[in-house]
Structure 1
Amino acid sequence: MDMLVRSWLCIPALKEGLEEKVIQSTADIVLLDLEDSIPLNSKQVAREKLLALNHSIWSDYDLAVRVNALSRPEGVRDLVFLMDNNIVPKYLVIPKVESAGELRILSELQSVTGARTKIFGIVETLKGLRGIDAVINDSVNLCGLILGSADLSSEISFRLSTSALMQIKCEVALAALSVGLKVIDTPCFNLIGDKLLREEVEAAKALGYSGKIAVHPSQISMINRLFSPSETELEKARAIIASLGSPDLPMAIASIDGEMIGPPFEVHARKMLALQELVVSKNNKRAL
């Protein structure tokens, strides 16, 4: 586990004070958007906003850039602009991924330029959802999937019910996790109160999601907290590892608080402790 991807704060590249917002953000990743939030006639202006950022910010902060769909001319222009100007974000987010071919072209471009950008693809169309297995199995540099519910909802032509969205979330999570990819939850668009955001994060975490897109800075704190191991979870993880590692254990199973545990529990416990190490490292870095 080498990436802390709990919170992704999405900011339009045209936003005033962009550099200051990046520096001040407590999100794990700041996602600079060139796609949906940018009008067609302002795409080039938005690209140039990225070029105006201090060059060191790309290496000093965990930045992502969401380009336009690679099936569109603007997406190709985005990639060319980034490469021509030696802009190398740590993460590149590709929207409306529907085929492995799109990501294969990107992989070939990366091999030529030597860029080490991690790729996340957004599953947000019916075609992309139905072809998800082909996408993840044939993509070389893909590190994770992001669920985009807004475009899916508009394509289906009705507001997705909670149960329908949960089914889609489960499908995307199972696909991603089966090949070792991260999976990131769709944004919570309701900015009034924390109840719905909490429910969405807790449901996503239970399905194996590692993080969630934030559309407002006020959402970051809760997303970070809920996607981090709680002290109770950490205590149990340490107890599981200690119990199963005991030299007096006659078999590879033990019992904690009346619950039988075995090797799969230890795997999960070690993942929990590894995640906590990343959280601590991130917090220490911010404190400097």
Structure 2
Amino acid sequence: MTLKDKVSIVTGSATGLGAAVAIKLAERGSRVVINYTKSEKEAKETLEMVKSKGVDAILAQGDVGEDADCRRIAQTAVDKWGRIDVLVNNAGTTQFANHADLEALTAEDFFCIYKVNVVGAYQMIRACAPHMKKVGKGSVVNVSSIAGVTGVGSSVAYAASKGALNTMTLSLARSLAPEIRVNAVCPGFIGTRWFSDRFGEMQYEKIRKQQEATTPLARAGTPEDIAVSVVFFAGEGSDHITGETLMTDAGMHLGFAPLKAR
């Protein structure tokens, strides 16, 4: 119970990776704010799973792309428990587009993706930072992607937004130290409902098997795989780490050109 009595906010935690992170934090003893935008039914189900771990938890509806919502989500934690110790910026969005088709994305597509993936994370950090500093020790974990390091992924706009999130991780790790640590986790493929809903079960299985056949560790990632890395940065033995980007992709990135920066 290494996070016993801590308070964690996980954005976009109704389903998928966010839900897995919320549950894993609860297993470590943290109280959890479960954030969702539209998926209220799923959020309530995740809430019950978190509470089944023996910790207190609450729901906070809100769109991280809206600053007022970010401040309200943070205040929800403070009003309930009087503190914020961990922020996991998991909420994200994308637009699928062929990287070679420069007409496939509009400026509005870029704005919508950046609003959630970059500005939303920044706004959540801004809303939580004063409360973390008051406690004296906080941890921010940005859920990024290997797309932000390798330039692959669902679209150029998505990859660029995750690259921006990685750079912001470095900037804020410097400026918020020593009270607050800021790190990023960069997953590769994650086997969630998001993939099967998008591509259908047959295509999802094809992608999953391809990951098992091509990654050095011969594995297709699961939400639980990534959640363990997030919880590590939340406080399990990572007190001496800030400004790091951890690629959690079964070694997928090793198939790309040598990476001089992460």
Do both share a fold (TM > 0.5)?
no
Question: Please, what TM-score do these two structures have when normalized by structure 2?
Answer: 0.38
Question: Please, what TM-score do these two structures have when normalized by structure 1?
Answer: 0.35
Higher RCO (C-alpha 8 Å, min separation 6): 2
When Rg is computed on C-alpha atoms for both structures, the one with the higher figure is: 1
